[in-house]
Amino acid sequence: MPNGLYPVWPATDSHIRVADLYQQFGRDPRLPKLLSGRAVLNTIEDAVRRGVLAVRCVRSDQSEAWFWRSGIDVTDWGKNADAWLPGQATLNALSSAAVLPAALPGLWPKTDDGVKLSDLFAWFDGGHFFEEETQPGYPPEARPIPKVDYAVVKKAVSKAIQDGGLWLVYGNDSVFQETPTAIQMDADALLFRPPAALAAMDLLPMALPDAWTKEAEPKTTVSALYAELKARRGRPWPPKLFLDSVNAALGQGFVHRASGSGPISSLQHDGTTELTIRSAAPKPPEPPPAQTPAGRRASSLAVLSISEIQDLADQIHTLSKPLAGMDPQIEVRITVKTKADGDLKLANSILDKIKAGWKL
């Protein structure tokens, strides 16, 4: 770099041929000797990803391909590429990664506040800088941002929204992981970091009480739920993310459709669909405990699964020690569903072998 430890790059030049950088290491005895030009290419590509350099590649048809804050996807680019100081470069292309918060620290707010699209355009006027943290704990260094036409920046932003790197809100429109329209890409549109995923619990009455009725089994509609979520979060949520969360809540049984079946596919067509939270089905009454013979004491009734029966078998010898001299007995009953495809005849024959007369 100009004004660095070694005067390989003339301080008065805005750019230098990449091939000349490598050859300089063989000409200047003050520089270390390199076994391969790949070392220079790797260093330059790393600098391009970091935004410290820009690279221009001239194609066979004399058209130009520019790279900044991205990888370099031109074959053998080191043979005919120029390395540029970003502050003196004007790019004709921009990667979608170059407009993300991670690529422009110091300009994007650290909070979840939005950035106007017009402000992001202005960052690429050739006079702005981003802040690079070179080492943890050290003050960040200002790095110049190259000049890029707003139409090129607009294309990069649109691609970032489509890829899920940015979230656009314009009026009541909320666009994420889809291509925004020309109208939505208004200069006053706000750009945000990707929205956090919604859990099923974020849609229930405890999180959105004003969206639900106060009945024993609360009710709402898809559109009312979306409107309350918008009010709570302060901005319209991406419809696809919202509907994915609603369908997840339906699938997990947190929420039910009041009528009909199937997933919710559209706010426009399914907005009036009623949703409800059903009360848990009352537990069946437990059978009265068997009469305990006089002089004996019974434990509380416990329902054990097959695996818990095996745990009881493993611990029975440990249990017998504190109950020594108390003649412990175990009362066992098996319950099964009445409508099932099991073989009761075979099961009863097994039970009878364990205890004569024991059966379902």
Q: Which residues neighbour 210 within 8 Å (Cβ) at sequence distance 6 or greater?
A: 228, 231
Residue 8 lies in a domain: no
Residue 161 lies in a domain: yes
Structure confidence by residue, pLDDT tens digits, 196-214: 888 888 999 999 999 999 9
Containing structural domain, residue 262: 200-276
* DSSP secondary structure letters along 136-194: TTSPPEEEEPPEE-HHHHHHHHHHHHHHTS-EEEETTEEE-SSPPPTTTS-TT-EEESP
In a shared domain, residues 102 and 188: yes
Beta pairing partners, 144: 129
Say if pTM beats, i.e. exceeds, 0.95: no
Torsion of CA 22, 26, 28, 33, to 10 degrees: 90
Of 316, 343, 264, 329, which is closest to residue 290 (Cα–Cα)?
A: 329
CATH classification at residue 231: 1.10.10
Q: Which residues neighbour 235 within 8 Å (Cβ) at sequence distance 6 or greater?
A: 169, 174, 190, 192
For residue 164, what are its two tokens? 């899920």
16 to 2, 36, 43, 66, 85: CA distances (angstroms)? 10, 19, 15, 14, 9
Measured distance CA(182)–CA(195) in Å, rounded: 22
Of 258, 282, 278, which is closest to residue 270 (Cα–Cα)?
A: 258
What is the predicted pLDDT for the residue at 282?
A: 46
What is the predicted pLDDT for the residue at 288?
A: 55
In a shared domain, residues 254 and 216: yes
Of the residues 140, 163, 192, which one is the last residue of a structural domain? Answer: 192
In a shared domain, residues 130 and 158: yes
Measured over all CA atoms, what is the biggest interatomic distance in the chain, rounded to whole angstroms? 107
In a shared domain, residues 205 and 127: no
Residue 352 lies in a domain: no
Are the beta carbons of 195 and 238 closer than 8 angstroms? yes
**Full strand arrangement of the beta sheet holding 219-221:** 219-221, 274-276, 256-257
What is the predicted pLDDT for the residue at 342?
A: 76
3-state secondary structure of 236: coil
Of 128, 125, 173, which is closest to residue 149 (Cα–Cα)?
A: 125
In a shared domain, residues 257 and 218: yes
Residue 220 lies in a domain: yes
In a shared domain, residues 176 and 253: no
The structural domain count of the chain equals 3
- Cβ-count burial 218-238 (b if 16+ within 10 Å, e if not): bebbbebbbbbbeeeeebbbb
Of 137, 69, 67, which is closest to residue 101 (Cα–Cα)?
A: 69
Residue 306 lies in a domain: no
Structure confidence by residue, pLDDT tens digits, 82-108: 999 999 999 999 999 999 999 999 999
Provide block-wise average pLDDT over 10 residues at a time, the chain (360 residues): 78 89 83 84 94 91 91 88 95 96 95 95 96 88 95 97 96 95 96 92 92 93 95 93 92 89 90 88 51 71 75 79 79 74 79 79
Residue 117 lies in a domain: yes
Of the residues 35, 61, 89, which one is the last residue of a structural domain? Answer: 89
In a shared domain, residues 65 and 113: no
Amino acid at position 305, single letter: S
Given CA atoms 5, 8, 14, 16 in this order, what sign does their dihedral have? negative
Residue 281 lies in a domain: no
Residue 341 lies in a domain: no
In a shared domain, residues 212 and 155: no
Q: Which residues neighbour 187 within 8 Å (Cβ) at sequence distance 6 or greater?
A: 116, 117, 118, 121
> What is the total residue count of the chain?
360
Measured distance CA(77)–CA(56) in Å, rounded: 9
What is the predicted pLDDT for the residue at 283?
A: 47
- Burial (CB count <10 Å: 0-12, 13-18, 19+), residue 48: buried
Amino acid at position 223, single letter: S
Are the beta carbons of 10 and 23 closer than 8 angstroms? no
- Burial (CB count <10 Å: 0-12, 13-18, 19+), residue 160: buried
Of the residues 36, 56, 89, which one is the last residue of a structural domain? Answer: 89
3-state secondary structure of 56: strand
In a shared domain, residues 112 and 141: yes
In a shared domain, residues 264 and 221: yes
